[in-house]
Amino acid sequence: MQPDPPGADPIESVEVGVELEVPTVRLVAGGDALGRTADGRVVLVEGALPGERVVAEVVEVRPRLLRARTVEVVAGAPERVEPTCPELARGCGGCDLPYAAAADQPSLKAEVVRDALRRIARLDDVEVDPGRPLPAVGYRTTVRAAVREGHAGFRARRSHEVVVVGGCEVAHPTAAELLVDGVFDGAEEVVVRVGARTGERMVVVHPTAAGVSVPADVRVVGTDELRRGRRAWIHEEVAGHRFRISAASFFQARPDGAEALVAAVRRSLDDPAADAEFVDLYGGVGLFSVALDVRAPVLVERSAAAVADARVNLSDRQPRLLKMAVRRWRPTPTDVLVADPARAGLGTEGVAAVAGSGAGRVALVSCDPASLARDVAALGTVGYRATRVELVDLFPQTHHVEAVTTLELVEPDRRQVAV
């Protein structure tokens, strides 16, 4: 591990607004760079990369931790670039890593994952492959935006203020157009969803779509209508398969990224045979079950909308669709299992479900490095060893990243141990 460099000049007392010169060491989960003051206090610096020296304004003071914001780069890292998005200068906080070259972002994120594995799971021998960069602009097919006075925008960094945008570099062009030209009177939030490969578009508006004005091709639905049982969906194509995606169902935020995730899961599970016993835990609308071409997957998912979509998407297979929370699932024995939980990770109940299935091989899909490390540590207590992590950088220009961890059952006797 790289040692921390000497800290900045000693400081008598620090308060909000003070400017410090800080050497930064590494990127941490959340996208800030970690540095230290000369008296050993940790400073998390927004807008800085590892190995830089920046002048940073303190924005929060805690007993053993400061948060600060870069105001000047004294010595920049080789990965530093000038951001291209004009909305940044207007205060948009939608992207938090635009000052790192897109090609370098996967390896910066891989370092965050390695660090989480070292610190949280106490593992420093797991290979972490940064994966291949995906296009860094025009990619997002699902975009959640806030609304101010009828117009869509994004929150300023660490603020509730909504910056109405005149464009969005990372949104798919058909989504960006809706964000900019759509009128959403009476709304607080809008989720724009588009099928990049089908051309279908939808806006999901909270709390009501009564004041919405968008082009005629766009499906419009309010969250009040969804609560009353209305259904609305679009379709997307991934890996040669067509998926129905309802307004309330989760789907990966870009089809090329979904394909890259499927490919990483396929590698992780060693290309499961069509007749393999296969469990798709937190299965959503069936992305992995469909795209991995397994004949009779068991899919566990608690969202009614997603299970209804999975029924359509898997209509040419013989799936067992279990609409329930993972904690209620009574695990059935299986050869292979993919688990793709929400940001909080598997937790105790997910780990128990994996262990109970006795799967010889598991692909864990994580969207948060700290959850990944916690889950890997917990799975270690029930006999699973992580052998490899492959990143899929679904969200360039932001600190977010997806990771597929391969786990093998090396101690079958331990898998019933309570967690």
Ligand X SMILES: C[S@@+](CC[C@H](N)C(=O)[O-])C[C@H]1O[C@@H](n2cnc3c(N)ncnc32)[C@H](O)[C@@H]1O
- Is 92 annotated as catalytic? no
Token digits of residue 399: 């600190």
Rule CB under 6 A: is residue 395 a binding residue for ligand X? no
Single residue of 37, 268, 303, 405 touching ligand X by CB under 6 A: 303
CA dihedral 375, 377, 379, 385 (to 10 degrees): 120
Continuous segment of H or E residues that includes residue 378:
helix 369-380
Interatomic CA distance for residues 253 and 51, integer angstroms: 31
The residue type at 220:
V
Q: What are phi and psi of 52, to 5 degrees?
A: -105, 170
Single residue of 205, 220, 326, 386 touching ligand X by CB under 6 A: 326
Rule CB under 6 A: is residue 319 a binding residue for ligand X? no
Q: What is the CA radius of gyration of the chain?
A: 22
Rule CB under 6 A: is residue 235 a binding residue for ligand X? no
Q: Is 43 left (phi over 0), alpha (psi -120 to 50) or beta?
A: beta
The β-bridge relationship of strands 151-155 and 162-164 is antiparallel
Tell the smallest beta-carbon distance from residue 97 to ligand X (Å): 21
What is the contact mask toward ligand X in residues 330 to 359, using x (rule: CB under 6 A)? ----------xxx-----------------
Single residue of 16, 325, 410, 417 touching ligand X by CB under 6 A: 325
Rule CB under 6 A: is residue 302 a binding residue for ligand X? yes
Tell the smallest beta-carbon distance from residue 281 to ligand X (Å): 8
Rule CB under 6 A: is residue 251 a binding residue for ligand X? yes
Using DSSP's 3-state secondary structure scheme, residue 195 falls into coil
Q: What is the DSSP letter of 159?
A: S
Quick one: which of 300, 257, 195, 141 has its CA closest to 289? Answer: 300
Establish whether the linkage from the previous residue to 78 is cis, with ω within 30° of 0.
no
Interatomic CA distance for residues 335 and 278, integer angstroms: 6
Nearer to ligand X, 46 or 259 (CB): 259
Rule CB under 6 A: is residue 141 a binding residue for ligand X? no
Sequence-distant (6+) residues with CB within 8 A of 193 are 141, 142, 175, 201, 202, 203, 204, 234, 245, 247, 251
Rule CB under 6 A: is residue 304 a binding residue for ligand X? no
Q: Which residue is nearest to ligand X (CB)?
A: 284
Nearer to ligand X, 169 or 402 (CB): 402
Tell the smallest beta-carbon distance from residue 395 to ligand X (Å): 13
Tell the smallest beta-carbon distance from residue 22 to ligand X (Å): 35
What is the contact mask toward ligand X in residues 262 to 301, using x (rule: CB under 6 A)? --------------------xxxx-xx-----------xx
Q: Which residues are catalytic?
A: 367
Binding site for ligand X (CB under 6 A): 250-252, 282-285, 287-288, 300-303, 306, 325-326, 340-342
